[in-house]
Amino acid sequence: MIEVFDQISGEPLLATAEAVTDFVRARKFDLAVGLGGGSCMDMAKIASVAATNSKPIKEYIAYMEDRIESNPLPKILIPTTAGTGSEATTYAVVIEGKFKNFINSTQIVADVSVLDPSLMISCPPRQTAGSGLDALSQGIEAYLSLGADFFSDTFAIRAVELIAPNLRRAYNHGNDLESRSAMALAAFYGGIAISTAAGVILGHCISETIGPRFKIPHGLACGIALPYVIKFNIPAAPEKIASLLSHLSDEKVTGATARAEKVVKVITQLAEDLDVSLALKDYGMSKEDLKEVATFIATEQQQNYALPSLNPRIITETNITSIFDEMWEGTL
């Protein structure tokens, strides 16, 4: 028996996770197949868990804790966007209201991942841009993480190297299979990188805070945050940030700080070329919202979520507020 669950929204909502849970538990399945973007693949992972675990799906959601009791169904994941890397990660994202959380387990990694760039040709330019910036953010954040090691760096840097010359081409020439293939691999490699001890850093904390609150797609929110987070971390990791330049650009710049600052400029130019505004005021966020999101990241995110501690520079309410002031204005 083959049945299709197609009630998937653009973001992986808890209500959708509960609906797919009811759908799966009312039937008998042997295999889950996720075809689509990150939300579709995450819901396929959740379906595989729900089929073999009997508690309400909400009880399996925890930031960094594996709560799965029985082996999920086998699963095949087939991405049609090049961004989240869900086809390679140990996470399934779930959004409840303003909060983004995860089912986190090595047991939900795909048994088979199929990377077919021909399925990405129809991805619209705006979604291509957001997805690609998500993949770039994952590669760079994993590379800069205090939890990074040789293994994670290998995949993170390869993702960055593939994205730098190919994201603009995929955005401007959607039928270009060569660039689509490179972006598919980059997203896959980025997914591997963030599923290690490296994880991600402040950029994803920001995107996971502003995305659900202001209805900004996850990849786009990651892309908006990325240059600001790189700039913020230059005082703590100038050499490592500087080392990214050779993977992003052929430009010759001397001195670690100057090279690191050039990385920020290269990312900023990429966003401009993809028609992505880096000013939060362009996304319906008011100045009054800044204090609330800054406080949330500095308190709840740091207390309940391990990723801020992986950021090279210490995060305080004061400096995260300064970042949001810059992000609101769009000043780098």
CATH of the domain at 97: 3.40.50.1970
Q: What is the DSSP pairing of strand 91-96 with strand 99-104?
A: antiparallel
Q: How far, in Å, CA of 182 to CA of 170, rounded?
A: 9
134 shares its domain with 276: yes
141 shares its domain with 94: no
Q: Indicate whether 3 belongs to any domain.
A: no
183 shares its domain with 102: no
Domain termination residue (choose one: 88, 114, 140): 114
What pLDDT was estimated at residue 274? 98
What pLDDT was estimated at residue 9? 85
Q: Indicate whether 9 belongs to any domain.
A: no
Q: Indicate whether 145 belongs to any domain.
A: yes
**Average pLDDT, stretch 143-150?**
97
What pLDDT was estimated at residue 299? 84
109 shares its domain with 161: no
Give per-residue pLDDT as tens, 94-137. Answer: 998 888 889 999 999 999 999 999 999 999 999 999 999 999 99
Maximum distance among all Cα pairs of the chain, rounded to whole angstroms:
63
What pLDDT was estimated at residue 64? 76
Q: Indicate whether 32 belongs to any domain.
A: yes
Percentage of the chain exceeding pLDDT 90: 86
199 shares its domain with 319: yes
Q: Mean pLDDT for the chain?
A: 94
1 falls in which pLDDT band (50, 70, 90)?
confident
Q: What's the pTM value of the predicted model, to 2 decimals?
A: 0.96
Domain termination residue (choose one: 79, 94, 114): 114
106 shares its domain with 241: no
Q: Which domain holds residue 292?
A: 124-329
149 shares its domain with 131: yes
Q: Indicate whether 5 belongs to any domain.
A: no
Q: Which residue is associated with the tokens 């998937």?
A: 8
DSSP-assigned states of every residue in 194-210? HTSTT---HHHHHHHHH
- Indicate whether 332 pLDDT > 90: no
20-24, 65-69, 235-239, 286-290 — which is least confidently predicted? 286-290
Q: Indicate whether 204 belongs to any domain.
A: yes
- Indicate whether 291 pLDDT > 90: no
Q: Indicate whether 2 belongs to any domain.
A: no
Q: How far, in Å, CA of 44 to CA of 92, rounded?
A: 9
59 shares its domain with 149: no
CB 116: neighbour CB atoms within 10 A? Answer: 12
Of the two residues 267 and 295, the one the predictor is more confident about is 267
For residue 93, give the 3-state DSSP assignment.
Answer: strand
27 shares its domain with 80: yes
Q: Indicate whether 193 belongs to any domain.
A: yes
Give per-residue pLDDT as tens, 224-277. Answer: 999 999 999 999 999 999 999 999 999 999 999 999 999 999 999 999 999 999
304 falls in which pLDDT band (50, 70, 90)?
low
The enclosing domain of 315 has a CATH number of: 1.20.1090.10
Percentage of the chain exceeding pLDDT 70: 98
Domain termination residue (choose one: 114, 142, 167): 114
What pLDDT was estimated at residue 306? 57
Measured over the CA atoms of residue 164, residue 167, residue 170 and residue 172, the dihedral's sign is negative
23 shares its domain with 85: yes
What pLDDT was estimated at residue 305? 62
162 shares its domain with 255: yes
- Indicate whether 319 pLDDT > 70: yes
48 shares its domain with 130: no
142 falls in which pLDDT band (50, 70, 90)?
very high
**Number of folded domains in the chain?**
2
